[in-house]
Structure 1
Amino acid sequence: MHTFDFHRGRRLRRTAVIRDLVRETIITRHDLIMPYFVVETADESFEKPIGAMPGQFQLGLGALSARVGRAVAKGLQAALLFGLPAKKDERASGAYAANGIVQQAVSRLKADYPDLCVVTDVCLCEYTSHGHCGMLSAAGEVQNDPTLDLLAATALSHAKAGADIVAPSDMMDGRVGAIRITLDENGFSHIPVMSYAVKYASSFYGPFREAAESAPAFGDRKSYQMDPANAREAMREAAADLAEGADMLMVKPALPYLDILHALRQSCDVPLAAYHVSGEYSMLKAAAQNGWIDEKRTVMESVTAIKRAGADLIITYFAEDILDYIRE
């Protein structure tokens, strides 16, 4: 017989009902944003599987609307759009064209599902012939300031098409301020900016390059995306974007940077998003397909960790699956 007192933590783990009652972090449909890749094509029913991301597709406008409709019926509240234009050029003209593919997709989704929150990725890499996120100098260097006007024009064109939130992901200095000023001056002061404030030059983006057809034609993005080794720099980037008018901040990727997400949660009080990126998705899918992990349990553990670390919003390619999981 024990003669000393000790903590009886197992009392609160004894049954499934008790565990549910005392659970601290719960994933709901309000936490989720589902990314989609929409292709500029005359074939609205176009649907091409993304080899590196099983279960994900490049979609024509009709196929996009149909798939989003099925997700909305399950409770999806927000979608993030990436566009694949028919043509690319050095100035990324498809990014800010009034009839560009994202602009068309926004208009279609808002017409078909008025209550859906449509978020647009604001970047140039999918639209430039060279695959970089900004304009190039004669020497092939990404130019910061000349890129800002094009990013602002892109955000404005998305807002005009009906986007609810614009999300700049390019990592150019000053882009939040340029976008905020342009939106305000053109009657869109009500449109929030969700800044990819803390976006690392991560190896976890690999499968996305295939999905968005946006791999750089040369070099890499390390001169504008953040060094994965840096944490204090993340705080500076976040503070700068808030000062320029960002309404929400994002950490990307999610799971390898939970420490950054948690530190940011402690330092600011705006809504935080975390992007559970393509590499994270593909690794879990591959392990599950090989029978090495239970997909549902591992996915839910992963997104719970992201929310527990401080995310208010989770952008994940598993969003449609999670909607099924939490309804079971």
Structure 2
Amino acid sequence: MGRVTASLDDLPLRDDLRGLTPYGAPQVPLPIALNVNENTHPVPDEVASDILDDIAVALRDINRYPDREFTTLRESFADYLGHGLDASQIWAGNGSNEVLQHILQAFAGPGRTVFGFAPTYSMYPLLARGTGASWVAGSRHDDYTITAEEAAAQVADADPDVVILCTPNNPTGTPLGLDVVEAVYEAARGVVIVDEAYQEFAPRDAASALTLLEGRPRLAVSRTMSKAFAFAGARVGYLAADPAFIDALRLVRLPYHLSALTQAAAVAALRNSATMLRMVDEIVEQRDRITATLEALGYQPHASWSNFVLFGGVADPDATWQALYERGILVRDIGIPNHLRVSAGTEAETTAFLDALASIDSAS
């Protein structure tokens, strides 16, 4: 029999999902991929060996369901984050996207709204719509900053059920001051999520929103192991919040949602956090090198507290992206006119990108 194919239009898809496109960045086998903000440094050999030892132990009981409460992992995250946190204030999932999805399943949904300041992480609208909620986009200044007063006024006007603050912001690298977080929390009647996926790349003296958790039960601070810990393929995200907030997430999580192997790998990586985080200093050095060289080449890089640089002044982003592609280098066109974004890689990867860009001469 011939194979019968159908399109989405032929299926009884939810009306609010029709016409949407899934999240995705190009996945092509180029020598230098600097397009999705990965940590391009491999996990150090001594840490990889320690992780493998713990996974081997976990495999002995793989016929049994894992610890549903992932207690040891939550304790490990609490120890890593500090600030007096304990396991009752920690949640985790298969990547920070799943953690955010849990929050929206619990606090958003049909008839509710999710708010963020655009441009920001492109998954937020998709997660909102996937849970049946509506996405509402606020605005920033041309340099992507926003004051506490402006942020609070926009949140009060929109009156959302969930606010997501990405800091440092993806795709711009822009930080938000804690005064913005405090003002937004006071203006919001719903929950406020501070997505600190790139916090480890911020200056050492930059305060985290973790310092604001006490006395704010509607506040959650989300993190990931994908970036600083070079754990993108392991898919581990987590958050800190009031214990009651954590209880809300238990209502929507799937049973045994974190595998025993995931838990074992993450606990071992956290045990070696000092070694893992040495990569951060190297990445920040390359990020700052990218910024300085882009300025010298005539582009306009935006200040970044993350592991990537968004830069403007690109006369033709499509042509520049293609020219870099043909030279074996993958960067990201995020749809902001005359801009491209590049992740900070190893010294060799960064050199290859900067040399290739200099050879193109595409600054406007």
- After TM superposition, the score normalised by the length of structure 2 is 0.28
Higher relative contact order (CA 8 A, sep 6+): 2
- After TM superposition, the score normalised by the length of structure 1 is 0.30
